[in-house]
């Protein structure tokens, strides 16, 4: 499977949702912050592994139940606002009128949920283990290294780019696999549509893909509805 198609699906295991040689804070502050990040994210990956393993059959039959899982364990810890900004560029993002900026964030957020559903189709008992944490010199960005262990394929190393919010909590903003991030793969497509057709067209293109996917998902599940069936 090509990397550019595999990365969005990997986000589905988290939307979700990408360690490199990042700089670190000095002394005790580094240790304390890394420990805080580990304490925040390690239980999340443990819960994701446990929940997917225990409820795989149920989630495949009941999209609404899987959507609840995504909302509780993945979506809550992802900063769709920062991901949307990175995809089109900070300058372009700030230049959008508030209405379109909010709609774009919502469309990106729903897209990440769609990736979670698409990725789940490839789930086969994989377990996710947090291996290491790195924090940037600024203390505002960091990386969480995760190993995806599978019984049928070699282990995969995934890096989650995290960002500290104004409230001091950490949230994921990008995912990296084999040196390539989701934003790096998708940003050219997003910016091309934005520049040639405008923000409305970009939002519409995402909305159509999301609507079609969830509509087909719900029909296949014999349930009426849209995203959560």
The DSSP line for 61-117 is H-HHHHHHHHHHHTGGGB-HHHHHHHHH-HHHHHHS-HHHHHHHHHHHHHHHHHHHH
Domains and CATH numbers, the chain: 3-220 (3.10.450.710)
Q: Rounded to an integer, what distance in angstroms lies between the CA atom of residue 192 and that of residue 189? A: 5
Query: Is residue 124 within 8 Å of 57, Cβ to Cβ?
Result: no
pLDDT digits (tens, 9 = 90+) for 32-42: 889 999 999 99
Backbone angles phi, psi at 134, to 5 degrees: -135, 145
- Residues pairing with 175 in the sheet: 160
Closest by CA position to 45, among listed 74, 4, 21, 7: 74
Least confident of 111-120, 144-153, 185-194: 144-153
Query: Is residue 148 within 8 Å of 47, Cβ to Cβ?
Result: no
Q: Rounded to an integer, what distance in angstroms lies between the CA atom of residue 67 and that of residue 62? A: 9
0.75 surpassed by pTM: yes
Query: Is residue 126 within 8 Å of 12, Cβ to Cβ?
Result: no
pLDDT of residue 221: 67
pLDDT digits (tens, 9 = 90+) for 5-36: 555 555 554 444 333 333 333 444 678 889 99
Query: Is residue 175 within 8 Å of 159, Cβ to Cβ?
Result: yes
pLDDT of residue 19: 33
Query: Is residue 158 within 8 Å of 177, Cβ to Cβ?
Result: yes
């Amino acid at each position: 499977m090509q990397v550019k198609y595999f990365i969005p699906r990997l986000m589905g295991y988290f939307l979700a949702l990408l360690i490199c040689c990042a700089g670190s804070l000095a002394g005790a502050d580094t240790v304390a912050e890394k420990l805080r990040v580990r304490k925040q994210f390690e239980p999340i990956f443990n819960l994701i592994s446990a929940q997917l393993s225990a409820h795989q059959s149920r989630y495949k039959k009941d999209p609404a139940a899987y959507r609840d899982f995504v909302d509780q364990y993945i979506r809550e810890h992802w900063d769709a606002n920062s991901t949307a900004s990175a995809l089109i560029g900070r300058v372009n993002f700030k230049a959008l009128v508030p209405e379109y900026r909010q709609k774009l964030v919502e469309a990106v957020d729903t897209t990440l949920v769609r990736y979670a559903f698409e990725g789940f189709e490839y789930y086969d008992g994989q377990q996710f283990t947090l291996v290491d944490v790195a924090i940037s010199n600024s203390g505002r960005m960091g990386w969480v290294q995760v190993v995806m262990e599978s019984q049928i394929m070699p282990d995969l190393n995934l890096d989650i780019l995290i960002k500290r919010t104004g409230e001091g909590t950490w949230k994921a903003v990008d995912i990296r696999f084999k040196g390539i991030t989701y934003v790096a793969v998708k940003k050219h497509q997003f910016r091309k549509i934005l520049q040639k057709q405008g923000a409305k067209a970009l939002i519409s293109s995402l909305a159509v893909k999301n609507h079609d996917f969830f509509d087909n998902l719900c029909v296949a599940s014999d349930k009426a509805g849209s995203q959560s069936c």
